[in-house]
Each structure stands twice: as structure tokens, then as C-alpha cells.
Amino acid sequence: MTRQPRPSKNTKKKSKGPQKKVGKTMLKDNQKRTESSRKWLLRQLNDPYVTKAQQLGYRSRAAFKLLEIDAKYHFLKVGITVIDLGAAPGGWTQVAAQKLKVGASKGNAAGSHLIAVDLSDMTPLKDVTMFTADFTEQSTIQAILKDVATKSAGGVDVILSDMAAPASGMTDVDHIRIMNLVEAAYEFACLVLKPGGTFVAKVLQGGTEATLLTRLKKSFAKVNHFKPPASRKDSAEVYVVAQGFRGSPGK
Ligand SMILES: C[S@@+](CC[C@H](N)C(=O)[O-])C[C@H]1O[C@@H](n2cnc3c(N)ncnc32)[C@H](O)[C@@H]1O
């Protein structure tokens, strides 16, 4: 399980060396850290969402983004089927499992079905089907389709994609990479979503590319962009929320 780092006890002791104050928590200057890891650590230590995630047992602060998106658009309900793409370490999956009551009762009496997919290994969650695989591989899509056919014959109600490739530091490259992942998730959504279904995906600001936006508007009754308060202000990420899937032609 990936846990957010906790402030080490050392940070509270008085150090002999000079200390720089950023926000509320100080770090010793004599620790061996690169500038970027130092900035990352300070940001984590001073981030109220990180603290709250630790208090509530969420695996990532990202959990609050899904809570906020769902509080606005109300698509997570008991008894539905949800696929969470780019799920690790599992904050969104935990939120979806709570909302769907997956793992809450013996034999999953709620009738909900939750599938989580990620390149990285993820600590199991009760009654959640997990695939450690590249979502863009045909074999992964086939495996998910098989699971859906077995457990959710009616199709899928919600596709979530928080997928992101590691940041390259080059804005254009990151944008293309994330848009490729969103396109793949959108095409998959068109294949498996039930009419009326919801598609939520992380994109980068500038919004969804015009071509994808046009396609989304054709496929869904409502398409919105939303930046949840838990999404860092200095991050270009924003979420596209498409609701009311019109159904795939030929289905
Ligand atoms: C921002 S993290 C997701 C955080 C997660 N939603 C949470 O709440 O903990 C993005 C994830 O996307 C995953 N990812 C990126 N490309 C992927 C791909 N092609 N297939 C599956 N997962 C992918 C990464 O491995 C990473 O774990």
C-alpha cells in the first residue's frame, strides 16, 4: 500500500543548522534531498488534504477529488457497475467502493460491481476486481470485457479515468500522453457504457481537445469541465464529466 509520508519526528526537534520555513512545517536544510523532492515533501506536509486522507484512511488525497466530483454530479450509487482506470494507489476506488457499498455486505448483496485497473500493483480491496495491466493493451480490454460479461450483463454505468503518465516536464508531451489515454478511455466507454451512463476523465487545461469534445458532445447529453477544489491550483488538470450516454450505434 502506498502511504503518504508522515512528518518525521526529527522535523519537530530543534536543529543546529539553519531552517527555512515554508507554510507551517519546516525541514532541516542538512538533509540530503534534491530541490524538487524537498519542495514535494514540504507541499505534502502542509497539504490539509494529505492530512485528512491519512486521518480518514484514504490511500491518496485524490480520493477527495472524486468525492467532490460526485457531490456535484451524483453518479455513484448502490447497485451499479463502475470501472476505475488508473486506480492506484486506490483513493478513487475506496470512494467508489463506499458509494456502491462494495465489500460492505456478505456476498456483495448490494449487487454493485467495481473494477479497478492500473499499471501498478494495488493493495486489494474487498470484492473489487483488480487488473494490474496496461489499459491500452487489447488483452487488458478483453479481460475487462470478460469480467463485465460475467458479472454485469447489462453493461457498465460509470467509467472513471484518472490515468496519467508520469510527468515529463514538457507541457506538450504531457498533454499528448494524457489525451491519448483519455481517447482510449472514451473509445472503451462507447463500447461498454449503458445508455444513460457517465464518463469522467482527467484532462489537462485548455480543456478537452476540440475533436474529442465534439465526439463527447455527440455521444453524451451533457458534457462539463470541472476542477474540484482538491485539485491543486497550480496543476493544469481538470475533469471532463460526460453524462447521459446516448448509446453506441449498432448496439
Ligand atoms: C494520478 S494516479 C491515479 C490516482 C488514483 N485515482 C487514486 O485515487 O489513488 C494515475 C495512475 O494512472 C496509471 N496509469 C497511467 N497509464 C496507465 C495505463 N496505460 N494503464 C493503466 N494505468 C495507467 C498510473 O500507473 C497511475 O497509478
Q: Measure 81 CA to ligand 1 centroid, in angstroms.
A: 19
pLDDT in tens, 200-224: 999 987 666 788 899 999 999 999 9
Mean pLDDT of 53-74: 97
Residue 244 has pLDDT above 50, yes or no: yes
Pocket test for ligand 1, best of 52, 56, 118, 174 (most atoms within 8 A of CB): 118
Predicted local confidence at residue 11, as pLDDT: 38
Task: Please list every protein residue whose CB sits less than 6 Å from any atom of ligand 1.
Answer: 59-60, 62-63, 86-92, 117-120, 134-136, 162-165, 181
Contact 197, 212 (CB under 8 A): no
* pTM greater than 0.95: no
Residue 30 has pLDDT above 70, yes or no: no
106 counts as catalytic:
no
More confident residue, 7 or 246: 246
Mean pLDDT of 146-171: 91
pLDDT in tens, 68-86: 999 999 999 999 999 999 9
Q: Provide the grid cell at 29.
A: 536544510
Contact 204, 173 (CB under 8 A): no
Domains of the chain: 9-46 (no CATH), 63-245 (3.40.50.150)
Q: Enter the DSSP assignment of 233.
A: T
Cell 474529442 sits on residue: 212
Q: Measure 88 CA to ligand 1 centroid, in angstroms.
A: 6
Smallest CA separation from ligand 1 atom 21, residue: 118
User: Percentage of residues in the chain with pLDDT exceeding 70?
Assistant: 84
Residue 172 has pLDDT above 50, yes or no: yes
Mean pLDDT of the chain: 86
Distances (CA, A) of 158 to 46, 153, 171, 195, 245: 33, 14, 29, 11, 10
Read off the pLDDT band of 45 (50, 70, 90).
Answer: confident
Predicted local confidence at residue 175, as pLDDT: 84
Predicted local confidence at residue 209, as pLDDT: 75
